[in-house]
Amino acid sequence: MELVAFLGEDSENWGQITGLINRGNWDKIILVKNTQTKSFPINEKTELITVESSKKLLELKKELMQKLKGKFSEFEACVSIASGTGKEHMALLSALLSLPVGIRLVAFTKNGVEFVN
């Protein structure tokens, strides 16, 4: 299964994403980041997609749909919204659902990787 995570400028939340990447059993990892976001260490399973978060919500959604189309091997993806802004999260979730790709929210907790829906 694929993991999709938004990597925001709020680097204090990157530990959550790092935990998911390191502890989950992912076929592919797609990290979406703002153009202003600092670099983040990636591995061979990771694809980095850069977007312009200063765009209006619907323009950002359209950009995400274009960049995410064809990236999923299954009809469902695990999604982390631990990092980023509300607008970025809305655009990402809306883009995924419009492709269409089902979503399962996922978090890294003291018990490991857990699905929250």
Could you give all domains of the chain from N- to C-terminal order, each with its CATH number?
2-115 (3.40.50.11700)
- pLDDT tens per residue, range 17-53: 999 999 999 999 999 999 988 888 888 899 999 999 9
The pair of three-digit structure tokens given for residue 40, joined into one six-digit string: 């983040």
pLDDT at 67 > cutoff 90: yes
User: Residue 41: helix, strand or coil by DSSP?
Assistant: coil
Whole-angstrom distance, CA of residue 52 vs CA of residue 59: 9
Q: Look at the pTM and tell me if it is higher than 0.95.
A: no
Residue 50: what pLDDT?
Answer: 95
Q: What is the largest CA-CA distance in the chain?
A: 37
